[in-house]
Amino acid sequence: MILIIDDDISIRASLSFMLKRAGYEVVAVASPKEAISTIRDTAPQLILMDMNFSLSTSGDEGITLLKQVKLFREDVPIILMTAWGSIDLAVKGMRAGAFDFITKPWNNASLLQRIETALELNSIDGSKDTNSSHNIDTIRQNKNNDFDRSFIIGNSDGLNQVLDVVKRVAKTNASVLITGESGTGKELIAEALHRNSMRMDKNFVKVNLGGISQSLFESEMFGHKKGAFTDASADRIGRFELADKGTIFLDEIGDLDIGSQVKLLRVLQDQTFEPLGDSHAHKVDVRVVSATNADLTKRIAEHSFREDLFYRINLITVHLPALRDRREDIPLLAKHFAYKQCEVNNIPQVEFSQDAMTLLSRLPYSGNIRELKNIVERTIIICAKKILTAGDFEPQINSCSAANATVNSNTAVHSDGLTLDDIERRTIVASLKKHKNNLSHVAFDLGLSRAALYRRLEKYDIDYKK
Ligand SMILES: Nc1ncnc2c1ncn2[C@@H]1O[C@H](COP(=O)(O)OP(=O)(O)OP(=O)(O)O)[C@@H](O)[C@H]1O
């Protein structure tokens, strides 16, 4: 049963109608007093609670009610309803333990989706309970079936715990925030959520929010109509529309400026937006996965990140441990990157000597898995040997840490007579050979944009037209 608490009769009526039509049993009450007596007698599966009771405009009554409800029914998810103008109240409510919030006027489809997500997540959390209902068993089964983690290497407890959460929430529509240091595999986890969701056949759209300027944010995310501004010479589809029915991955969300944060919050609220120059609201159905290596709680305290946006993107948090805290994964990862590098470059597979593996297993890895990948790939290209020893890796390790230290200066780094530029040039030449000068394939392999690849081809004067 879903309990609706709202003093506005028209809201009670329209919510009841919508929820009953969706197959839920509904009880609707008008006052906090009636609400408390209802939850004393029956346990609702979910509560939809208005925060703006007419008796007080401060919202204190709503917060008090929320706290009382939590005392009686700690495990029942509560979704708060507020006006957009009093979203601060929703934030207070989230701090006091509400599960989610919506702003009025709401969008029926997205409210239903939130309700479904809340119920699903609550069942998963409660699935350890021996009294689990049929519904919980079904969810548990679904979550365990066919989980594809084939592209994620590692078997450490730290990684397995992360994957366990991913497995349980992938099929829901819950927003997920992935945290962790740079290079720990956050993007891979976002992909795993998508690949294991009902949305897997639709788009996974990645947006690097750190790379989008404030002035371009709206056109990039929501699109624009031809003529909407001086440079808009044609219609453009935004990232949200591209991700419709799929997943949008908001990378580096901690870097988003405060002005763009409110625009993002609005679209996440009810999944509608207006492209620039278009007065029609566009509706989308998008699952939101975000990632950051910033400490968002700290940013909230410093007022550089909106707390309401934080709750909106963060129904579930997944924290990826640093590589130095899951060293068991290093040998598997090293072998995996070596295998891939040899395959891509069409060279015979290599092996690691015992001392090489011991060395790799002990490094500090401030750049995490990305750093390990670079070290392995460079060593293979430079050494061109069948069995790689610790001695082969050492110069590359020095060069990588030196490169980290001088990343913002143009100082050339020498190791074994080679500069980083030499290494980069060799890697590009090898990839060109492997892909018979197909620049799209080379760019993809090396993780570069075509423009970045062209710049390097010019810089090193590499003839790719032969
Ligand atoms: N478990 C893993 N198995 C295989 N490859 C991995 C794994 N984790 C990370 N990688 C690889 O390491 C590199 C860095 O990973 P990724 O880009 O996902 O990290 P990130 O945390 O998103 O980094 P950033 O914060 O800098 O964006 C990628 O090439 C990725 O494919």
Q: Quick one: pLDDT at residue 55? A: 55
ipTM of the complex: 0.98
Residue 403 has pLDDT above 60, yes or no: no
Residue 442, domain extent: 324-459
Query: Is 182's C-beta closer than 6 angstroms to any atom of ligand 1?
Result: yes
Residue 295 has pLDDT above 50, yes or no: yes
**Which atom of ligand 1 is least distant from the CA of 182?**
25
Q: Quick one: pLDDT at residue 139? A: 38
Give the residue from 305, 321, 337 where a domain finishes.
321
pLDDT tens by residue, 196-243: 999 999 999 999 998 788 888 988 999 988 877 777 778 889 999 999
Ligand 1 center to 314 CA (angstroms) = 21
| pTM, two decimal places | 0.76
Query: Is 326's C-beta closer than 6 angstroms to any atom of ligand 1?
Result: no
Q: Quick one: pLDDT at residue 131? A: 33
One domain for residues 151 and 257: yes
The count of structural domains within the chain is: 3
**Inter-residue contact 305 to 299 (CB < 8 Å):** yes
Determine, yes or no, domain membership for 195: yes
Residue 129 has pLDDT above 90, yes or no: no
Ligand 1 center to 369 CA (angstroms) = 6
Ligand 1 center to 185 CA (angstroms) = 3
Q: What is the dihedral of CA 433, 438, 440, 446, to 10 degrees?
A: 0
**Which atom of ligand 1 is least distant from the CA of 293?**
25
Task: Residue 180: name the closest of 296, 321, 316 by CA.
Answer: 321
Query: Is 184's C-beta closer than 6 angstroms to any atom of ligand 1?
Result: yes
Q: What is the CATH number of the domain that holds 408?
A: 1.10.8.60
Q: Average pLDDT of 446-460? A: 81
pLDDT tens by residue, 73-104: 888 999 999 887 778 888 889 988 899 998 88
Ligand 1 center to 375 CA (angstroms) = 14
Q: What is the CATH number of the domain that holds 163?
A: 3.40.50.300
Which one-letter amino acid corresponds to residue 462?
I
pLDDT tens by residue, 325-383: 999 999 999 999 999 999 988 889 999 999 999 999 999 898 899 999 999 999 998 88
**Which atom of ligand 1 is least distant from the CA of 153?**
3
Q: What is the CATH number of the domain that holds 98?
A: 3.40.50.2300
Query: Is 156's C-beta closer than 6 angstroms to any atom of ligand 1?
Result: no
Q: Quick one: pLDDT at residue 239? A: 94
Mean confidence (pLDDT) of the chain: 85
Give the residue from 128, 159, 183 where a domain finishes.
128
Contacts of 175 (CB under 8 A, 6+ apart): 268, 287, 288, 289, 290, 312, 313, 314, 315, 316
Give the residue from 262, 287, 321 where a domain finishes.
321
